[in-house]
Structures are given as structure tokens and as C-alpha cells.
Chain A
Amino acid sequence: MADDAVVEKISISGPTLASIIHRFTSSPGDVDGLLFGHVARLPPPDLHDDDPSAATSAAASQSPLSATVTGIFCSGSPMGFYDALGRLDLPALRRAFAAADHRPPGFALLGWFSGRRRSPVHPSMREFAVSFSLSKYPTLTLDDRPGSAHPDLPPKPCIFLLLASSPSPNHAVHTHEYRAFVFRSTAAGSGALEPRSLDVINVGPAFRGQYSSFSPASAFPWMPCWPRGIEEGERERGSKKGESLREAERELRLLESSAEGFGLERLERLVGPGAAEYTSELEDLYTKMLLKLEGLARLVEKSSARVLEQENRNSLLRNKLAGME
């Protein structure tokens, strides 16, 4: 069974952990949310040359897993994707998954987190039940994009990250604690949350290997570029068109959508000996791009302000309902 795989190592990137803690400290009450990331197989522990049976059986299913948390989703209100008995609210869960905008291959729902102030750093009754339910639904861990199903993709675990904070009486010192758990089903049927240490991945010499293995993936296409002179370029372009006209056109459209009407022909003239004349054109391109970014930023800022306004109004209403003020 797929559940046999053991998650030995949980890693989280420093910014992700920081953003969870930030969400927690800035929220008026307790928070919970989902953890996204990917799972990889760790190299099998120690294989002995003289034991061939171990090498074959331990190869695929027994080698421990390593889970890396790279993203979070936090709805801002408690019990966003489960009910009082810890049962999952599947539509809400799918919505949350769809809301994660950047989904590299292998990106999956790894588990969830819960942050509560001034309570023991020990999983609660409901937290255990939610982890149990999450571990029971293997379909939710699958990426719904076509063609992204990896046959060799390891089974997804259920990770639970518990955060607690307790400020000192004068609020001068805030103590944050966190513990990571992995849900494992047991023979008795109820399963158990086993504590695991949490590796925080940061930039620095200790993480050089991780940094080097990074490969960027961008939606922006490669720009066609011919630095060897126009005639040569013309010839090459002719042959290229014959080869993959469709591909080039698709990239062109993509580029044009980013450049706001700055044609590829104009762009091509920037490269080569006459480039100096077109400096102003290039500046025009950048300005247009910046303007677009600025407009976007302003939109985000405005909508954030309105969300905050609405959030404050909601919490006032809730307080009124609860008889506080």
C-alpha cells in the first residue's frame, strides 16, 4: 500500500515559514490553512553489497520520503475547509487548491497547519481528526492539470504543522513555537501523529547544494536574437520559419501580450549595428511595461484595502453578535 511510505524529513523554505508565522501573528485570533509543496524520495539508507534481496525490495516502496513545503493557503477564518467533527469540506478544499496560482509539476497538497495562542503545543482533538481525514483522501493530493501525472511520483503524506505563541504579560516578548507532525495510519485504525523535525531552508553556505539545483521556469518565451549581422539573420530566419512557423507565432503572441503593442519588428531593429538609434524605443518599451506593472500594483493595493475594510467590518459584526461591546 502506498501508505507504507514514511516521511522522514520535512523541509520548509524560510520565507514560507515566515509567512505562516506572519499570518498567525497578524491575525486577530487562531488561524489555520493548507500547506502545499512536493515530495521526493530520499536515497535508500544503507544498501549492503552482500544482501541482494534488500536492494530490490527496498528500492521503491520502502525508501523514505522527504517533503518540502513551498506554499501556503490561509483563508483567514477558522475552520475554512473542515467542520466541527474534523470532516473535510471538499469543495472548499478544491477552491483553495485552485487559488494557488503557481503550480510547478509535482505541486500537491501536503497537509495543513494550525496556529493557536496560549494553548499547549500538542495536537487537539479536532486537529487530529482533520489530519486523519486529509490522509484518507488520496484524490485531493493529485494535480488536476492534464499531463502532469507522474507515474513515479511518490504517495503524498499528510503533514501537520502546529504553531503556538504566548506573549509575555507586557507584550514585550512574543514566544513562537512550532512542531511538525506526520500522520501515519496504524494497525488499530485510528493512526497517529508522529513528531518530526522541521528543516528550515534558507539562503547561505549550508544550502549551497539546494541553491545550485534550482532551475528557473518562466512563462515568458525566449526572445529571438541574432547578433551576427542582418543578412545572416535573414537567411536563418527564413529557414526557421519553414521549420516551426506555428511555434514562433505562438511565442510572438505571448511576447506581444506582454509588450503592449510593441511589435517584434521594432524589437528586432534594436539588435545589431543600428541599436543605438533605438534606445528611446527601448525606453518606451520599458516605460510601458512599468506602467502596466504600476497599474497592477495600484489595483492590488486598492483591493487589499477594501478587503481589510470588509474584514474589520465583519469582525465588528461578529463581536456584536458575541455580545462583546
Chain B
Amino acid sequence: MNQEAKRHATPASPSSSSTTSLDSGGSARDPHRPPPLSPPSPAMSAAVSPLIAAQLNYLLAHSPLPLKVGQVWAGSKNGRYADRFTLLVPFCLDYIKWDVVFNAGYPSVPPDFVFPPEDDDFHPLIPVGDVKEEKEGEGEGHLSKSSLSDWNSKDPSRLLALVHELRDLYMHYQKKRIEELDDARLKFEISTILSREGIEVCMISSHDRPEEVKFAVPLLDIDLNKLVLACPWRHQQKIYLQVVFPVHTSYSSAPSAPRIKLVSSSELKSLFSVEDVKLPPWLDGMCMAEYLPNLEENLKTQVLEAVASIGARRCFIEALPSLFGRPLEADPVFCRRATVLVVSGVFTFLVHFSIPTQFPKQQPILTLQSSQHFNSQGTPILSPPINDYPWSPRWDVPGMVERIFDFLVDECLNFKKYCNETMPQQQ
């Protein structure tokens, strides 16, 4: 039970925190946003008009993208039914905010979208290019025969189709913006790399900084979700290389190196931390097509090692019962956590094992938690994390458990003393 609850709580917290941070960033940039109301309603808590709720729920449940709903508003006079909301659409390793406006009073009317002011010239309904193209009706960059023209409010899958159509058009729009830039290096990069599947590009422009172009390059064509047994991830996990090029319009000055960074979703962290990967240096005059193969190979070995490390961690957890008894709880998928109950005389305490992704190269971090000593707030007293006990990755697994057990036999006396000192004296 406890373990179930813990698993559910963990993925929810980072996502909600990132929503709020995006929200605050967005409203600072956009002066025309209506002032936030009373407590910002979490998604779906307001009574969304039934037909609209069906569309929205379908969208969130079935989209392969991790979409999020920001604020939900009511547009009718009495304000009883919400019919408009902010949709956070993942794009190019960031979120773009689109306001989706339905009309609760006229549920058959298809939704309208308000794009942020920085995408002022993104007009999905307008044919791009010249008028001839429009007459032929073959303009690539606009919704000509879309889910919008034959909108059916009774079919809950329409909003999903529409959002994906619009996102594709937005991708096209960003690509076009970058192609129009007068930068020889970017032109070259785009011509060599843009055929790669899943790549996304966008312009980063702000008032006080020079323009930049961001590439989000998906790395490794292996399915990370399939590498993990009983994989809990709902969305497809990918590791991306984020490359940010400064825009150079003059040909004379030598273009500076781009800023590069590996990015993955926070969910992937329980398997593999991209922060631990050391990126190969970007040499002068290098292009992405040269840089990527080397990096991918390197990364692939590390990911496979990380997957192998799950097996090692599982063995370690399975070896715990011989000395510690059955763990109270353990992470069965990534085997990153286990907790055991230990008794020494009359002193009862818990030992939390936090097992790093690089196990057995790195040793588990131990935290002791007393079952008998509480601080002034009423929470059990915890020891600081312990990771300086004797350790060798070359020991066999039962040996590791034995050494930890031996270490704890001594350490528990120190911890008991620490508890007694920390606990407020009760007279």
C-alpha cells in the first residue's frame, strides 16, 4: 500500500512544479494576459462543460505528447461552466502556451486558439506563399481540410486531432522562420540534419538578447521504454541533444560554438541521469552531423550499462533478507530504493537504502530513521545520509550486504546517541 502511494506521488510532483514555473514565466512575458483569479484552479477541478470535458479528457489521455492544462476559465456570463483553458504543448524541449477557446453556450462551434504574442505571424488558417498557391488549395502550411472544417462536437477525438495538426503546422512555421535567416552555418546545418526523424527547431528571440536557434535532436533509435521490465512510463522516453546556435548574419566573423546540453524527461532519471554524461568537446568548425555519431555511440554504451545496473541493484535488494529480514518496501521496477526494519536490543529503526544509477560503482546511500525518537514537530528523527562506509564494487553481493550489516552494528549506537541528543527533553 505504502509503496503504491509512493509511486503515484513521485511522478506527479515534478510535473506540477514545472507547470507552475512555466506559468509564472509566461505571464511575465505576456502583458495582455488577464489577471489570475482566486486560487488558480488546477486542471479539471472547475466544472468544464460536458462536451468540452469529453474532448479535453480524450486529448490528455490519448495524446502521445505529455500535454498539460494550465488555467481553466469560464467564458459565459454566469460563469457556471468552464469552456476555455490554457494548453501547454511540448515543443522543442520546452512548452508553448496556447489558449483554447470554446463556447459553452454554443457547443457545436469548433474551438479557437490564441497563440502567444511572440508567435505573432503564425496563422494556421491562412495559406502561406502567394495567392496562386491558395487557389490551387495545396498550401502546405495551413489547415485546408482539417478536423476544424468538419467539426463534430460529439466526437471526443476531434480536439486531439486538431491539436496535433496545429503542432505540425507550428513545427513547419518554425522551420520556415529559420530557413529564412541569413546565416550560412544554420543553412548548412538545416540542410544536413533536418531530415533526421523527430528533430525539432525553433527560434529563441527576446528583447534583450541576440537571436538564437535551438535544435532538439532525438538521440539513439532504441526504444528506452522496452529496455525496462514492467516499464511504468506512459510517454515514450527519449534523450535529446539540445544545441543552441547564436545567429550570425555577417559572414566575416567566425561563428562561435553552440551551447550543447543533454535533455531527458524527469521520469528517465530513475534509470539514467543525463547530467552524468560527459559531452565530447565541440571542435572549431564542427557541424552537428560530425558531432552526433560519436556522442550517440558513447551514450548507447552508458544507457545499456544503466539498464544492466538495474539487474545488479535487484540482486542487491534480493540479498538483503538474509541478514536484514524482508524489506518493508522496495522499488520493484528500477530497484532504486529499499527500506528495512532493524532492531538492536530495544532500539528499533529503519534503514533506507538509496541505490544510485551507477551501482555497483557507487555505493548505496544509507539513511537511518528512528521508530522511537521524534523531533519537536512530531516527525521521526533521521540521520544525515551516509555514504562514506567501506565499499568496493568488486565484492560479491552477499559480501556487500554483510559489510553494510557489520557497519550498521556499530553505527546504530552512534545514531541512538544522536537521537537522544536531538530529541527534545520531556520533563
Contacts and interface: CB of A to CB of B under 8 A. Distances in A.
Q: Do A and B come from one complex?
A: yes
Judged by DSSP, the binding face of A is loop
B112 A318 contact: no
Given A120-B30, A120-B34, A322-B50, A28 B112 contact: no
B34 A29 contact: no
Interface string A185-226: 000111110000000000000000000000000000000000
B149 A323 contact: no
A79 B109 CA distance: 8
Nearest to A170: B38
Interface residues of A, number: 45
Most buried by A among B76, B84, B127: B76
Nearest to B166: A125
A119 interface: yes
Contacts of B49: 322-324
Given A129-B123, A132-B126, A323-B50, A120 B74 contact: no
A120 B32 contact: yes
Nearest to A130: B125
Interface in B317-354: none
Contacts of A79: 106, 109
B120 interface: yes
Contacts, number: 139
Contacts of A77: 106
A127 interface: yes
A100 B296 CA distance: 68
A78 to B, nearest CB: 6
Contacts of A30: 75, 101, 103
A189 B116 CA distance: 21
Using C-beta atoms within 8 Å of the partner chain, give the interface range for chain B.
35 or more
B324 to A, nearest CB: 55
A125 B50 contact: no
Interface string B58-87: 000000000000000111111111001000
A119 B73 contact: yes
A86 B51 contact: no
Interface in A9-29: 25, 27-29
A122 B114 contact: yes
B258 interface: no
Given A29-B75, A85-B149, A315-B105, A120 B114 contact: yes
Interface of B: 30, 32-35, 37-38, 49-51, 73-81, 84, 99, 101, 103-110, 112-117, 120-121, 123-131, 143, 146, 148-149, 151
The 9 closest A-B CB pairs, nearest first, are A129-B125, A323-B50, A322-B107, A29-B105, A118-B73, A166-B34, A84-B110, A121-B32, A124-B114
6 contacts: A28-B76, A78-B109, A86-B125, A119-B99, A120-B99, A322-B104
